[in-house]
Structure 1
Amino acid sequence: MKLPVSKRVWSGAIKDLANVCKKYSSGFTGGITILSAISGRLYQSNVLISDGYVFAASHESIDGRISLKREDALKAIADSLAKGIGHVTIYEYDKSVFD
């Protein structure tokens, strides 16, 4: 899933994400891109958020062998975050992105 281009509001290590998310938890509209490494394979995950609720999610290996969407993607993303290895970028969108 490719996210719309918008204003980057934060970029950093996965281990710092929990503290940053508290700041954006209520009513946030935007996207999160996560680049991670799990068991020697590289992944890109994307989460699209509208008004604080997950609107869409994807989790894909860079080599194209694994491609997950929706709830399966969210489970894989949670696993990536738990391992704490990778990089996260958060983008904020105007609500018109969903019109």
Structure 2
Amino acid sequence: MQSNTSRATLSAQSSGTPSASTISSSGKQQVVELSGYVIILVENVDGKIKLYGSPPDRDNLEVGDEILEVNGLTLDNISRTEIIRHIHDCIKSCTICLRVRKKNDSRL
């Protein structure tokens, strides 16, 4: 069974502008230049963290996608405050690697 989960990586380029690459389940890689990014985290009634923001939307991330992991840290049983702190630390390091569940896919 093929998963709809994708992995997005943001990293600094020589210009200092982050870029994003997504490796889909087909193994195809896509690079998106970002002039800046916004990640808004919202915890729903089930305690799941959802992703809202742009320009990650240009990298096939959509409003309502669930963030499962950030730079190898699984987000289960972690407070919203700890998640935000971890994402800020990742941004400072210029590398953000997300594992997400697409909003329209209940499978991992």
Q: TM-score, normalised by structure 1?
A: 0.41
Structure with more contact order per residue of length (Cα contacts < 8 Å, sep ≥ 6): 1
Whose strand proportion is higher, 1 or 2? Answer: 1
Whose helix proportion is higher, 1 or 2? Answer: 1
Q: TM-score, normalised by structure 2?
A: 0.38
